[in-house]
Structure 1
Amino acid sequence: MADTYDLVILGSGPGGYVAAIRASQLGLKVAIVERERLGGICLNWGCIPTKALLRTSEIYHYMQNAESYGLKADNVGFDLAKVVDRSRKVAGQLNAGVKGLMKKNKVTVVEGVGTVTAKGKLSVKQGDKTVELDAKNIIVATGARARDLPFAKADGKTIWTYRHAMVPTEMPTKLLVIGSGAIGVEFASFYNDMGADVTIVEMLPRILPVEDEEVSAFMDKALTKQGIKLLTGTGLEGLAPSGNGVTAKIKHKDGKVVEETFSHAIVAIGIVPNTENIGLEALGVETDRGHIKTDGYGRTNVDGIWAIGDVTGAPWLAHKASHEGIIAVEKIAGGSPHQMNKANIPGCTYSRPQVASVGMTEAKAKEAGYELKVGKFPFIGNGKAIALGEAEGFVKTVFDAKTGELLGAHMVGAEVTELIQGYVVARQLETTEAELMETVFAHPTLSEMMHESVLGAYGRSIHY
């Protein structure tokens, strides 16, 4: 006889496990199905362990430049196995934390491969055994996986996806990164700081193509200055293992195809949603290029079937998945949550320097027909940034000239992934330039640049 629940969630990533906790808080009987490790890709193979690696490379960079702070650090080096081990321990600690949260919130964890067999019914295969579950509602939170090149599948030896790049057994000497989105730029930054010779190939005209054009241009100069070779407007026509490395056929802007050999390549060209073989086709759940179509509450076209996170489409971010999960669960429980507003979802890239943004770019705002007020303030004008030795970067704000609405904010520089939340809150509260101008910012802080950028949009910047 099948176990019966108010809600069963398929997938335990940052969307699934957060939805499970909120559902339990609302009094629902909840089960969560996971085929691998609680916490999903983000916690085990994505957001968290990559940040542990990037923290290591950041400290290594500072150690190599200790003299600029009046310090001495001789014979600086690293143990790659210990670097990887630290990252895995961080992921392991958080995985254990999610297990504890499931127990604390009385969420039943069902390990195995889940399939939706009918409306309100799931079958979970556990080796030779199968467990049947009944549910009033089902949330699909199965996430996504790395997209392979059609002509060169990752082998884990010289051709890597992000999963391979997080647990290297050897340090690349000459690394090719294919794709310059957040994942590609983060790995390029990490391996470059650790001593690899790095090249990024990007088919589009600029790196970090979803960011504001000024941010992309700044990052182009910053990464080039660090020694990373950037090939934009450039295609990849072939990639194959060759000897102890990999040979790439790179088509440059002029149409010329050049062969070049690298020790390793990281493929970072996007993701594929995990929607196959989980029973959605038989139920008639609508998809768009593999992504499940939902409304602002996470509902699909099939009653009782909901979907959240990467499996529903862009932006493919953990915090988007978590928020979608809470909205869906509150709707299931009979509440009246707000619909998802993707315009208020911040994006962060944890490279060196960092990049963060929310809302419209200047170009998108112009395309939408807004008359704009744009402010920009450089890190070099901020005392805290100078004291930190991090005087490169800027903060940019885009306002509707008629209403004072903050349309977008874009940052590049030290710790901007922490600063961006101030503007996210401002947008959520529908704050105008007037409130932001009258807000007191602590001194000395990096956040003062946020204030100065707002003031600058209206010709009132004090320190620039």
Structure 2
Amino acid sequence: MANLYDIIVIGGGPGGYVAAIRAAQLGFRAAVVEREHLGGICLNWGCIPTKALLRSAEIYHYMEHAKDYGLSAQGIGFDAAAIVQRSRGVSGRLNGGVGMLLKKNKVDVIWGEAAITKPGEVVVTATKKPAMQPQTPAPKGILEPGTYQAKHIIIATGARPRVLPGIEPDGKLIWTYFEAMVPQAMPKSLLVMGSGAIGMEFASFYRTLGAEVTVVEVLPQILPVEDAEIATLARKRFEKQGMKIFTGAKVTKVEKSANSVTATVDDGKGGTQTITAERMISAVGVVGNIENLGLEKLGVKIERGVIVTDGLGRTNVPGIYAIGDVAGAPMLAHKAEHEGVICVETIKGLHTHPMDKAKIPGCTYCNPQIASVGLTEAKAKEQGYDIRVGRFPFVGNGKAIALGEPDGLVKTIFDKKTGQLLGAHMIGAEVTELIQGFVIAMNLETTEEELIHAVFPHPTLSETMHESVMDAYGRVIHI
């Protein structure tokens, strides 16, 4: 039967398309149902285009500071439309690449919105244009809506911005990350509600390009999932750049005028103040796309807005699986991809084990960059570990000095009893590229002794990682 598959994946984002390709590699007949754009939010409206925007801001920053490098540059400026156009072009290129990868692996793509009418059956209807997202036309050669069968159905529908009652984004004055990525003009002032990765990346982008930026965070520290010491250093850097940051504070009301918003902020200390800005970004997290899939009727277990799985992608209903953001935190593309592989290999009957979420790295691509994996110092103590903590500042690293990037820190946390690396936390230039070294070390159950005896190349930023480990054991050399 033409409409019969071994595996149907609902959602063509990072988790979905990777799961489908892995399924094809293992000999399954696989299909992906996608309603809007291959590559999902990450590729089209998240991870990738934001990095393109931030790269433009980074280059602009270096141009502004050309004299620090013995260079001269006059008449420095930027074209907001061209910055956005470059970002969209990067996404478009990769979007097409995902389509080619699926075709190469003989994965069918069905264009439309899917609902699971019963175990083993997916009904796909024509895509309805979402309110907040531009719709991508269905590529040529894509299968049409209809009824499809598969023994295994993987839900990989991702997530969307969380909306707070009374502070709903309107696409003009109050933005989500969709509008923040394609501004028609650069606002002179910006209020960012939420200081997680999304909020701080946009705060960094717009501040670098000259906007007056204010960040309001309800929790006691910005970047709430990060180690407190790293978050404190980040805040100092952001404030030095001119950002205004309020923590332990909450936006309680927003009033709109023709071209600005005025927010009433409860400062958490019994006082209130008003903040007026041309635009506001709501970056208070995301929620899973679990609606209109038929899950309630099928009895699929849902808790706190996400689908419950057993760690291998299996839900409580046989033949139905969930991966990625819709299956819960951490809501990261690389977590979704790995979950997709684990899920499909479990279906195949290969030896698999649940992903250790404590070993999933997190990265924030603001200026300065922030990256981490494992336990924070506070969490390690909370879990009863007797710990050793090592620190090494970028100012003691030759490569960082040569790059003109002396502000940074690498922090490592070890179990004093066993030498196990419990966590690593970094702030500074290119730390999002460095963190994988600690991720590999943790997955290989490397101890401090092995890390100390590893030879790191010189001169590199990675030497800060080595020195941080040595500092935890009283052997640091360069501070």
Q: TM bucket by the smaller chain?
A: over 0.9
Contact 2:36–2:127 (CA<8 Å) still a contact in 1? no
Secondary structure of 1:201 counterpart: strand
1:220-257 Cα shifts (integer Å, max 9, x gaps): 10000000000111111111321211111111132222
- The aligned residue for residue 27 of structure 1 is 27
Q: Is 1:39 aligned to 2:54, yes or no?
A: no
Contact 1:14–1:42 (CA<8 Å) still a contact in 2? yes
- The aligned residue for residue 3 of structure 1 is 3
2-side partners of 1:240 and 1:123: how far apart? 43
- The aligned residue for residue 123 of structure 1 is 123
Match of 1:193 among 205, 208, 220: 208
- The aligned residue for residue 110 of structure 1 is 110
1-side partners of 2:81 and 2:127: how far apart? 33
Match of 1:340 among 338, 355, 362: 355
| Structure 1 residue 340, shift from structure 2 partner | 1.1
2-side partners of 1:300 and 1:282: how far apart? 14
Secondary structure of 2:122 counterpart: strand
Q: Is 1:451 aligned to 2:466, yes or no?
A: yes
1:16-51 Cα shifts (integer Å, max 9, x gaps): 000011000000000000000000000000000000
1-side partners of 2:122 and 2:75: how far apart? 58
- The aligned residue for residue 253 of structure 1 is 268
Contact 1:2–1:134 (CA<8 Å) still a contact in 2? no
| Structure 1 residue 152, shift from structure 2 partner | 1.9
Match of 1:387 among 397, 402, 405: 402
Contact 1:152–1:240 (CA<8 Å) still a contact in 2? no
| Structure 1 residue 290, shift from structure 2 partner | 1.3
- The aligned residue for residue 67 of structure 1 is 67
Secondary structure of 2:14 counterpart: coil
1:107-127 Cα shifts (integer Å, max 9, x gaps): 000000111110010000026
Contact 2:468–2:476 (CA<8 Å) still a contact in 1? yes
Q: Is 1:184 aligned to 2:190, yes or no?
A: no
2-side partners of 1:382 and 1:226: how far apart? 23
Runs of 4+ in 1 over 3 A off after TM superposition: 127-130
Q: Is 1:409 aligned to 2:424, yes or no?
A: yes
Amino acid at match of 1:354: Q
Match of 1:303 among 315, 318, 321: 318
1:321-352 Cα shifts (integer Å, max 9, x gaps): 00000000001111112221101100000000
Q: Is 1:150 aligned to 2:165, yes or no?
A: yes
Q: Is 1:427 aligned to 2:437, yes or no?
A: no
1:370-402 Cα shifts (integer Å, max 9, x gaps): 110110000000000000000001000000000
1-side partners of 2:377 and 2:220: how far apart? 17
Counterparts in 2 of 1:309-324, with a 5 A limit?
Answer: 309-324=324-339
Contact 1:2–1:131 (CA<8 Å) still a contact in 2? no
1-side partners of 2:371 and 2:269: how far apart? 33
1-side partners of 2:248 and 2:366: how far apart? 21
Amino acid at match of 1:393: G
Contact 1:160–1:266 (CA<8 Å) still a contact in 2? yes
2-side partners of 1:223 and 1:430: how far apart? 35
Contact 2:110–2:145 (CA<8 Å) still a contact in 1? no
My pick for the range that moved more, 331-340 or 110-119, is 331-340
Secondary structure of 1:426 counterpart: helix
5+ residue gaps, structure 2, are 129-143
Secondary structure of 1:15 counterpart: helix
| Structure 1 residue 261, shift from structure 2 partner | 1.5
**% identical equivalent positions:** 62
Counterparts in 2 of 1:275-286, with a 5 A limit?
Answer: 275-286=290-301
5+ residue gaps, structure 1, are none
Q: Is 1:243 aligned to 2:258, yes or no?
A: yes
Q: Is 1:350 aligned to 2:347, yes or no?
A: no
Contact 2:261–2:279 (CA<8 Å) still a contact in 1? yes
- The aligned residue for residue 86 of structure 1 is 86
2-side partners of 1:434 and 1:244: how far apart? 59
Secondary structure of 1:78 counterpart: coil
- The aligned residue for residue 141 of structure 2 is none
The number of residues matched between the two structures is: 464
Match of 1:325 among 325, 337, 340: 340
CA-based RMSD of the aligned residues comes to: 1.0
| Structure 1 residue 259, shift from structure 2 partner | 2.2
Match of 1:135 among 135, 150, 157: 150
| Structure 1 residue 260, shift from structure 2 partner | 2.4
- The aligned residue for residue 16 of structure 1 is 16
Amino acid at match of 2:367: R
| Structure 1 residue 258, shift from structure 2 partner | 1.8
